[in-house]
Amino acid sequence: MPRPIHATIHTAALRHNLARVRQAAQDAKVWAVVKANAYGHGIERVYDSLRAADGFALLDLAEAERLRALGWRGPILLLEGVFEPRDLELCSRLGLWHVVHCDEQIDMLAAHKTQQPHHVLLKLNSGMNRLGFTPQRYRSAWARLNALPQVDEIGHVTHFSDADGPRGIAHQVEAFLSATRDLPGERSLANSAAILRHASAAQVRADWVRAGIALYGSAPDHPEHSAAHWGLQPAMTLATRLIAVQRLAAGDSVGYGSRFVAPAPMTIGVAACGYADGYPRHADTGTPVLVAGVRTRLVGRVSMDMLAVDLEPVLAAGVHAGFGSEVTLWGRAAHGGAILPIDEVAHAAGTIAYELMCALAPRVPVAADTERGA
Ligand SMILES: *Cc1c(COP(=O)(O)O)cnc(C)c1O
């Protein structure tokens, strides 16, 4: 028998979250962001649930090919554009839209021989200082692109650094509006945090929004708000089982470094999940976990293949916990339906849900609930 750990992708939750994004973004078109293999969920596994989006956005050309192979004929956007000249041939062949964020990408386009004029989105660096032309250089980049026979449509795009936090987006929206004023073409500004927090403003929604993390059921501004606050449902469950139970006396320790010492006699369970599965090693005693659907906590240091959990709250709730009991590391408990938000686990480990989703290890079997018939 394989190890009992497995991840489940909840297809109805993906559909629900996409509908929730549409509701927040009203009349805007929605790019479903599926970079990093759909934030670890698997492009093939999410495709059916997210194909109601208006387009898919990603960075990896091989992932774009996989989407075309699934039969997607609508828009696909390369969020970082091309990396080398021959990528443009694939853009022509697969009909990919691509971001243009630097002069070198314009040079490549100018040298590209194609029968198919390209649809590009010119990127403004409105303050993130990662990719894009500065406001001073934006219009000359646009004029250069506009003069190329290789290009027919030029849209406009920028990315927010603080849509989830107190600094907000006003300064970047202002820079975008002023740099793109009077230029033709569609506009796209908002990521998930901006969609949920700021998209009541038409200029933030613009023509397209780019939703990533919200589709997967995490709150981009946790811990200020929870996924439930935003009406989002978890799209991924990571679950395993207890493979051992230990009875501790007061003063007994648990795991490497004896990092947890029992203050009183207690029962702990050992779950088949460790950092080699993608569970964060930095998660400390107290990190929430569900055993048989009852909320309890991690104790001691996470090992490569195992972690220990406090069974006292489960037993106190009158729920049986022993060898084989279900352990939910994040997501939805199979029995009873209790939810452990991935955001809470990430927070306890000093990281964000994006990282946990993307770090799910290849050794963990993943299936959509439709495949499991759950
Ligand atoms: C990843 C990404 C997004 C999606 O961000 P979320 O916070 O996951 O919604 C949007 N735009 C760009 C340019 C991105 O790289």
Q: Catalytic annotation on 256? A: yes
Q: Is the pLDDT of residue 134 over 60?
A: yes
Distance CA 263, CA 253 (A): 9
Between the CA of 45 and the centroid of ligand 1 the distance, in Å, is 20
Place 98 in a pLDDT band, splitting at 50, 70 and 90.
very high
Buried b (16+ CB within 10 A) or exposed e, 347-358: bbbeebbbebbe
Between the CA of 210 and the centroid of ligand 1 the distance, in Å, is 6
Q: Tens digit of pLDDT for each residue in 221-263?
A: 999 999 999 999 999 999 999 999 999 999 999 999 999 999 9
Mean pLDDT of 87-101: 97
Q: Specify the CATH number of the domain 11-216.
A: 3.20.20.10
Ligand 1: atom nearest CA of 33 is 4
Q: Specify the CATH number of the domain 236-369.
A: 2.40.37.10
pTM, whole model, 2 decimals? Answer: 0.97
Q: Catalytic annotation on 123? A: no
Pocket of ligand 1 from Cβ distances under 6 Å? 33, 35, 79, 159, 191-193, 210-214, 220
Ligand 1: atom nearest CA of 157 is 13
Distance CA 307, CA 285 (A): 10
- Longest CA–CA span in the chain (Å) reads 77
Binding site for substrate: what residues are annotated?
A: 130, 304
Cβ atoms within 10 Å of 131's Cβ, excluding its own: 18
- Which of 29, 35, 123, 354 is flagged as catalytic? 35
Q: Tens digit of pLDDT for each residue in 277-335?
A: 999 999 999 999 999 999 999 999 999 999 999 999 999 999 999 999 999 999 999 98
Q: Which of 79, 121, 187 to mutate to test the pocket of ligand 1 (most atoms within 8 A of CB)?
A: 79
The residue extents of the domains of the chain are 11-216, 236-369
Place 37 in a pLDDT band, splitting at 50, 70 and 90.
very high
Ligand 1: atom nearest CA of 214 is 9
Place 372 in a pLDDT band, splitting at 50, 70 and 90.
low
Between the CA of 28 and the centroid of ligand 1 the distance, in Å, is 16
Q: Tens digit of pLDDT for each residue in 120-132?
A: 999 999 999 999 9
Q: Is the pLDDT of residue 1 over 90?
A: no
Ligand 1: atom nearest CA of 211 is 9
- Which of 39, 123, 256, 354 is flagged as catalytic? 256
Distance CA 276, CA 181 (A): 50
Between the CA of 315 and the centroid of ligand 1 the distance, in Å, is 42
Place 371 in a pLDDT band, splitting at 50, 70 and 90.
confident
Closest residue by Cα to residue 121 from 67, 169, 75, 54: 75
Between the CA of 90 and the centroid of ligand 1 the distance, in Å, is 23
Binding site: what residues are annotated?
A: 130, 304
Q: Which of 189, 191, 192, 358 to mutate to test the pocket of ligand 1 (most atoms within 8 A of CB)?
A: 191
Buried b (16+ CB within 10 A) or exposed e, 39-72: bbbbbebbbebbbebebbbbbbbebbebbeeeeb
Between the CA of 211 and the centroid of ligand 1 the distance, in Å, is 6
Place 373 in a pLDDT band, splitting at 50, 70 and 90.
low
Ligand 1: atom nearest CA of 220 is 7
